[in-house]
């Protein structure tokens, strides 16, 4: 068996790479553009298996030949991109970020970047992406698959074609079943790891055993049906769709239908075989390599975030670089087989370059991100690094620990309890700075809202079952209601992650048929009422305003580039819709419970929300307050106005000005009740 060149397959590569590029560029309506990687997996499985079957049938299968072809195809362009990204990282990244980059660089060199990002990065997380090599996870998956696949195929093929197809089909089903399980229980592992991605490559591999079905009454309809399935998936899937899972069968099957049934004689095959589609397909590998680092470094370099015009220009630049890389890097290494391009030269060069890349990563990591670089010598790096550090309140130990560690309480008889997730953590510094003698106990757990009976259901982000949050909330309620010294309970969370499709886990009877927002509000009110019935005064604090950009990094980046930090400020009208939705929910609590609005503190009368005050970054990332920002704002407002009256005005107007307070922090006049703090 031999494989003839099929122009429509190159065109199908274009259908795979373009959605990925546009998705990463922020094209909102292409919410499932990331599925282009799945299409690549199917195409790769088909082409590689077809070549291997041809070699086996001719009795010429050579594992050495196979890996030589893979090295020629994958490594030259990859090393060029790695060299450029490492130079840009060296110039533009802060030490902490460069240190993380160095680890990802070393993982790419040994094709384990999927494992690295599985441990360190949620692909769909909202936070600003500082990982220029995130997209290399898919290369690692492919190379891990092909490490043993040729030997497995040879073993099965020698036992007959039927046995081979059955064996591959059994493995496909096992991998698909595992993908479905992980989509419900460990979605991050399912996304990144080979075990749950192998079925997509195997789907393509099985296509190599199926004779072309480009004739007959279905040869026109089925390719069209497959393409419709692909395009609909690109639009209908989003970050909340379980993936990979049974639902991923739709784009994978669509790709299979195009591979098996399309030809240049039908409409879909003709479109895919057009000159422009074939050209994009030919440069698709280089385009995949180039586009993502360019977009990430634009975000790293820009103050504020890059404009749509800048993003569009970078996409065009990615095409230009990809065409040059295909012409002057990919093609010479694939065509020439003498001298440096000989098999010996390829293997020695690949090993040497891989070792060099790995060593560079290790060296940068060993220097702790190279803080002595010339571009950073005149900067106050400790202050900049601290401004971006996680703000976990009193201590890093205050994350889901019960009984309460000593480091998470400022008094043996605390007057105030702070309960919630990371958005409660970031209030503690400001509160204790304004009231240093106040007895405070911190009762916080990441992604665990201060509500009894419900919890966040996505284990891919929490790394544990929702029951851990449910149990923590019950223990906090028992502790607070049974501790006589506690008079006030400050509860805070962004809450919106509970609104995500499938994001809510509830105990029996806690789920409201009207939807997650209604469920959250009802159970939050019940929790507040339970606190009040125990003689406690609950105070709800809203999340800070955010426009979705990494505001903390923007302010730091402004100082790095010598730009005005005011460029990081944003109008209230740009606040993210989910935060407005949370605001609407919290408004329904007013009148019955006290609600403190942080947008009244951070947004002024002109409707502009501030990201900094001079050199002080209020935020450490896109949504959380920095330590210094929390301290500054807490001092200025007398502890977030928690125990006094806020300025009047609607929280959604952005029209309230909070003047700076001239008194030093910790010198506010405390009322008599608070003065008896139990210290």
What is d(CA 424, CA 421) in angstroms, rounded to the nearest whole number? Answer: 5
What DSSP designation does 619 have? B
For position 461, what pLDDT does the model report? Answer: 61
> Does 653 score more than 90 pLDDT?
no
pLDDT tier at 646, thresholds 50, 70, 90? low
> Does 649 score more than 80 pLDDT?
no
Terminal C-alpha separation, the chain? 84
> Does 244 score more than 90 pLDDT?
yes
What is d(CA 164, CA 625) in angstroms, rounded to the nearest whole number? Answer: 57
Average pLDDT over residues 302-318: 93
Nearest to 629 by CA among 559, 547, 551: 551
For position 662, what pLDDT does the model report? Answer: 47
Task: Give domain limits for the chain.
Answer: 7-366, 406-675
- 14 contacts 280 by C-beta, under 8 angstroms: yes
For position 420, what pLDDT does the model report? Answer: 96
pLDDT tier at 187, thresholds 50, 70, 90? confident
Proportion of the chain above pLDDT 70, given as a percent: 91
For position 534, what pLDDT does the model report? Answer: 95
For position 670, what pLDDT does the model report? Answer: 46
> Does 21 score more than 70 pLDDT?
yes
- 69 contacts 324 by C-beta, under 8 angstroms: no
pLDDT tier at 387, thresholds 50, 70, 90? confident
- 488 contacts 427 by C-beta, under 8 angstroms: no
What is d(CA 614, CA 600) in angstroms, rounded to the nearest whole number? Answer: 19
Nearest to 414 by CA among 430, 426, 400, 428: 428
> Does 413 score more than 50 pLDDT?
yes
Q: pLDDT tens-digit profile of 188-213?
A: 899 999 999 999 999 999 999 988 77
Nearest to 55 by CA among 117, 1, 132, 96: 1
What is d(CA 229, CA 240) in angstroms, rounded to the nearest whole number? Answer: 19
What is d(CA 154, CA 49) in angstroms, rounded to the nearest whole number? Answer: 11
Q: Which residues contact 342 (CB under 8 A, 6 or more apart)?
A: none
For position 568, what pLDDT does the model report? Answer: 93
Measured at the CA of 528, the angle between CA 542 and CA 500, to 5 degrees, comes to 55
**Beta-strand relationship, 608-609 and 612-613:** unpaired
Proportion of the chain above pLDDT 90, given as a percent: 67
- 402 contacts 426 by C-beta, under 8 angstroms: no
H-type helices in 93-237, by residue range? 95-109, 113-120, 137-157, 161-185, 187-192, 198-207, 221-236
Q: Rounded mean pLDDT of the chain?
A: 89
Q: pLDDT tens-digit profile of 533-557?
A: 999 999 999 999 999 889 999 999 8
Nearest to 101 by CA among 354, 372, 293: 293
Cβ burial of 669 (10 Å; 0-12, 13-18, 19+) is exposed
pTM: 0.89
For position 289, what pLDDT does the model report? Answer: 98
Q: pLDDT tens-digit profile of 570-601?
A: 999 999 999 999 999 999 998 899 999 999 99
- 605 contacts 656 by C-beta, under 8 angstroms: yes
Average pLDDT over residues 130-153: 95
pLDDT tier at 28, thresholds 50, 70, 90? confident
Q: Is 443 helix (H, G, I), strand (E, B) or coil?
A: strand
Structure tokens, 597:
């609005």
Strands of 497-542, DSSP E? 504-506, 537-541
Q: For the ranges 494-503, 525-534, 579-588, which has the lowest average pLDDT?
A: 494-503
pLDDT tier at 31, thresholds 50, 70, 90? very high
Within 10 angstroms of residue 620's Cβ, the number of other Cβ atoms is 26
Structure tokens, 659:
């003047």
H-type helices in 562-596, by residue range? 577-587
Average pLDDT over residues 46-74: 92
Which H/E stretch holds residue 617?
Answer: strand 616-617
For position 460, what pLDDT does the model report? Answer: 59
For position 580, what pLDDT does the model report? Answer: 92
The correct answer on CATH 3.40.50.1110 for the domain covering 406-675 is yes
**Beta-strand relationship, 440-444 and 416-420:** parallel
The phi and psi torsions of 570 (rounded to 5 degrees) equal -145, 150
Q: Which residues contact 176 (CB under 8 A, 6 or more apart)?
A: 199, 246, 249
Bridge partners of residue 657, in order along the sequence: none
Q: For the ranges 52-66, 485-499, 658-672, which has the lowest average pLDDT?
A: 658-672
> Does 659 score more than 90 pLDDT?
no
For position 510, what pLDDT does the model report? Answer: 63
Angle, in degrees to the nearest 10, between helices 7-24 and 284-301: 10
Measured at the CA of 32, the angle between CA 26 and CA 35, to 5 degrees, comes to 115
pLDDT tier at 506, thresholds 50, 70, 90? confident
> Does 429 score more than 60 pLDDT?
yes
For position 664, what pLDDT does the model report? Answer: 58
For position 503, what pLDDT does the model report? Answer: 75
Residue identified by tokens 């505001």 is 551
For position 309, what pLDDT does the model report? Answer: 95
């Amino acid at each position: 068996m031999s494989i003839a060149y099929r122009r429509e397959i190159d065109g199908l590569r274009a259908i795979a790479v373009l959605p990925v590029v546009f998705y990463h560029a922020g094209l909102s309506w292409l919410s499932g553009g990331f599925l282009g990687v799945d299409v690549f997996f199917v195409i790769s499985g088909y082409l590689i298996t077809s070549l291997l079957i041809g070699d086996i049938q001719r009795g010429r299968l050579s594992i050495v030949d196979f890996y030589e072809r893979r090295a020629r195809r994958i490594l030259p362009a990859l090393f060029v991109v790695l060299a450029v990204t490492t130079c840009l990282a060296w110039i533009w990244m802060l030490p902490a970020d460069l240190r993380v980059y160095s680890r990802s660089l070393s993982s790419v060199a040994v094709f384990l970047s999927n494992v690295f990002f599985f441990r360190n990065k949620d692909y769909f997380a909202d936070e600003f992406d500082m990982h220029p090599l995130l997209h290399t996870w898919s290369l690692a998956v492919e190379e891990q698959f092909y490490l043993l696949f040729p030997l497995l195929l040879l073993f099965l093929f020698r036992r007959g074609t039927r046995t081979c197809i059955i064996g591959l089909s059994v493995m496909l089903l096992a991998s698909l079943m595992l993908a479905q399980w992980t989509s419900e229980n460990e979605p991050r592992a399912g996304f990144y790891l080979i075990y749950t991605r192998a079925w997509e490559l195997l789907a393509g591999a099985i296509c190599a055993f199926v004779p072309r079905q480009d004739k007959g009454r279905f040869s026109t309809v089925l390719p069209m049906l497959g393409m419709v399935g692909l395009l609909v998936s690109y639009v209908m899937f989003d970050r909340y769709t379980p993936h990979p899972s049974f639902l991923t069968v739709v784009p994978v099957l669509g790709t299979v239908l195009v591979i098996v049934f399309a030809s240049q004689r039908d409409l879909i095959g003709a479109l895919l075989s057009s000159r422009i589609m074939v050209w994009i397909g030919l440069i698709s590998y280089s385009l995949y390599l180039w586009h993502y680092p360019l977009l990430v470094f634009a975000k790293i370099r820009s103050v504020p975030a890059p404009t749509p015009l800048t993003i569009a220009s970078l996409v065009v630049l990615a095409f230009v670089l990809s065409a040059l890389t295909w012409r002057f890097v990919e093609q010479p290494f694939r065509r020439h087989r003498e001298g440096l391009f000989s098999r010996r030269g390829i293997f020695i060069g690949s090993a040497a370059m891989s070792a060099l890349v790995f060593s560079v990563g290790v060296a940068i990591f060993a220097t702790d991100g190279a803080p002595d670089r010339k571009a950073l010598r005149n900067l106050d790096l400790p202050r900049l690094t601290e401004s971006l550090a996680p703000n976990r309140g009193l201590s890093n130990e205050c994350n889901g620990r019960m009984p309460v560690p000593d480091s998470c309480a400022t008094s043996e008889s605390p007057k105030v309890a702070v309960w919630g997730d990371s958005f409660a953590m970031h209030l503690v510094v400001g509160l204790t700075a304004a009231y240093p003698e106040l007895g405070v106990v911190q009762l916080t757990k990441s992604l665990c809202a201060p509500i009894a009976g419900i919890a966040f259901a996505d284990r891919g982000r929490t790394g544990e079952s929702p029951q851990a949050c449910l149990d923590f909330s019950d223990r906090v309620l028992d502790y607070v209601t049974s501790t006589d010294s506690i008079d006030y309970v400050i509860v805070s969370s962004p809450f919106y992650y509970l609104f995500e499709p499938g994001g809510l886990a509830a105990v029996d009877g806690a789920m409201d048929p009207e939807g997650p927002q209604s469920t959250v509000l009802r159970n939050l009110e019940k929790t507040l009422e339970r606190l009040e019935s125990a003689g406690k005064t609950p105070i709800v604090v809203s999340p800070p305003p955010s426009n979705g950009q990494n505001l903390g990094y923007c302010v730091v980046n402004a100082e790095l580039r010598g730009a005005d930090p005011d460029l990081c400020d944003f109008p209230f009208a740009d606040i993210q819709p989910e935060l407005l939705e949370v605001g609407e929910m919290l408004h329904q609590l007013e009148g019955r419970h006290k609600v403190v609005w942080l947008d009244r503190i951070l947004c002024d009368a002109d409707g502009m929300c501030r990201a900094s005050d001079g050199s002080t970054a209020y935020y450490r990332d896109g949504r959380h307050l920095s330590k210094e920002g929390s301290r500054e704002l807490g001092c200025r407002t007398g502890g977030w106005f928690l125990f006094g009256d806020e300025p009047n005005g609607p929280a959604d107007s952005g029209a309230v000005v909070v003047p700076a307070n001239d008194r030093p922090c910790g010198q506010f006049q405390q009322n008599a009740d608070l003065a008896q703090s139990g210290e």
